[in-house]
Amino acid sequence: METEFLNLIKEAFEIEDRMLDMADRFKEFDEWDSLTQLTLIAELDEKFGVVIKMDDFKNITTLLDLYNEILSRKA
Amino acid sequence: MAFLSFNGVGIRGLAAAVPAHKIKNRSYTEYFSAEEVSEIVDKTGIEERRFAEAGVCSSDLCQAAAEKLISDLEIDKSEIDLLVFVSQTPDYRMPATSVLLQDRLGLSKQTMAFDLSLGCSAFVYSLSVVFSLVQQGTIRKALLLDGETRSRAYYPKDRRVAFLFGDGGVAALIEKNEKYGQSFFSLNSDGSRGDLIKIKSGGYRFPSSIESIQERVVDDHGNISTDEHGAMNGADVFNFVIEEIPNDINSILDKAGITKEEPDFFVFHQANAFMNGYLAKKMKLPVEKVPSCIREFGNTSSVSIPLTMVSQLKGKMEGSKKVLLCGFGVGMSWASAVMDFKDCWISELVEV
């Protein structure tokens, strides 16, 4: 599940040149912009069936935070 | 829930007018690099848009479309009893543009004329209003004019919105005739999301001022805009679409008593290719039933649904057709309809 999540992030952000870590602060990635946000939203809906509003992202810093948020919303 | 149904009212014909002036997005690089613009175009699928020349308003585009439609259908203007103009880019704050169009089109002084202000949901919304009035029985012919010059509503230095919007105007002739079967409408609103797409200044809450016309940096990415131009939270607009639109479509199909397989076409508001593509995929709709004109005209707000029909469905509307329409956007406001078309006339696209 965690691997699936990291693959989803790499795909959404089109990251090919590096490995991701759950501690990464993804909003500081160069790739985090209004275009990749659209892909991320589609992926989260398609793969996990969750919708996370941009306001809620304010409290989400690392990939682990995002992962936990997804899990809590799925539950 | 607001759900309406009609019997024996239909759209007899549609015409559309777009400015002749084409903007090719990949070479629209005054403020952003070609590489950056290409990334945006790859995602949104918007290659070209039409920009109205200075001095040309939505109403001028609508007027051109209306004249074309009236001439093609050989309509006696004295039989037009209702004119509704739908836009958020009117000629003036007052008077209402519809009233000016009554005169410019040479319609009778007995014409009922008024404006409706909604964005991307407006075509479907206003159809439901016009259908209600026409079903009443005494209005012989109704003209629904829907136009936008949204290219001017967004600032070219804000990359989140600078490459999306285009201009256009349409005309629809609506009549009562027993040949038309039932049509069904679902109308919705959510003002709690009013900030997702907004032009803050220029109304009466925040009147235009020296401050409102000043450029300022509006986000962490260095985008520049003013309070007189549209701001859009695209990510949450997409979240809204995912949360509300599939449900609304399923609900209108249910009310119409048909399955997803039955409509001949699904005509969606043209937001951008990514969002529309995802919506169609999520709804598992066959590509050939989902016409699109986003590539050549961009997002034209309320005009996009009828413009898609005029530019993509000419020659495909003969006989009896069931078409699902769905508009969604600024408000937030959204509306879906299942409509029965009988030999709907589609005029050649007019360039102004």
Measure the N-to-C terminal CA separation of chain B; round to a whole number of Å.
Answer: 40
pLDDT tens digits, B94-136: 999 999 999 999 999 999 999 999 999 999 999 999 999 999 9
For residue A11, the distance in angstroms to the closest alpha carbon of chain B comes to 14
Angstrom distance (rounded) from CA B25 to CA B260: 35
Please, what is the Cα angle at B120 between B215 and A46, to 5 degrees?
Answer: 95
Q: Do A45 and B39 touch (CB under 8 A)?
A: no
Angstrom distance (rounded) from CA B27 to CA B57: 25
Q: At what angle do helices B234-256 and B273-282 cross, to 10 degrees?
A: 40
Paired tokens of B271: 């937001």
Question: Any chain A CB within 8 A of the CB of B233?
Answer: yes
User: Residue for token digits 């009554």?
Assistant: B102
Q: What integer is the mean pLDDT of B199-205?
A: 96
Long-range interactions of B134-138: CB distance < 8 A, separation 24+: B134/B9, B134/B82, B134/B174, B134/B175, B134/B176, B135/B6, B135/B7, B135/B8, B135/B9, B135/B176, B137/B176, B138/B81
Q: What integer is the mean pLDDT of B140-148?
A: 98
- Residue from B37, B193, B239 to probe the interface with A (highest A Cβ count within 10 Å): B239
Q: Is the peptide bond before B95 cis (omega within 30 degrees of 0)?
A: yes
CB pairs under 8 A between A and B: 40
Of A45, A51, A54, Cβ closest to residue B233: A54
State yes or no: pLDDT of A74 exceeds 90: no
Whether domain A2-74 has CATH 2.60.120.10: no
For residue B202, the distance in angstroms to the closest alpha carbon of chain A comes to 27
User: Residue for token digits 């007189």?
Assistant: B228
**pLDDT band (50, 70, 90) for residue B322:** very high
Q: Do A42 and B239 touch (CB under 8 A)?
A: no
Angstrom distance (rounded) from CA B269 to CA B240: 14
- Residue from B164, B238, B275, B284 to probe the interface with A (highest A Cβ count within 10 Å): B238
pLDDT tens digits, B175-188: 999 999 999 999 99
pLDDT value at residue A17: 83
Q: Which helix (H) or strand (E) holds B12?
A: strand B9-18
Paired tokens of B212: 């409102």
Q: What integer is the mean pLDDT of B276-285?
A: 96
Q: What integer is the mean pLDDT of B47-71?
A: 97
Question: Helix-strand-coil percent breakdown of chain A, rounded to 5?
Answer: 65, 0, 35
State yes or no: pLDDT of A62 exceeds 90: yes
pLDDT value at residue B272: 95
CA-nearest residue of chain B to A37?
Answer: B235
A chain contacts of residue B154, beta-carbon cutoff 8 Å: none
Q: Do B235 and A37 touch (CB under 8 A)?
A: yes
Nearest alpha carbon to residue B229 among B156, B299, B166: B156
Angstrom distance (rounded) from CA B216 to CA B211: 10
A chain contacts of residue B235, beta-carbon cutoff 8 Å: 34, 37-38, 41, 54
**In this predicted model, which residue has the larger pLDDT, A27 or B147?**
B147
Domains in chain B, CATH or no CATH each:
1-352 (3.40.47.10)
Domain ranges of chain A: 2-74
**pLDDT band (50, 70, 90) for residue B88:** very high
Angstrom distance (rounded) from CA B175 to CA B50: 31
User: Residue for token digits 């398609």?
Assistant: A46
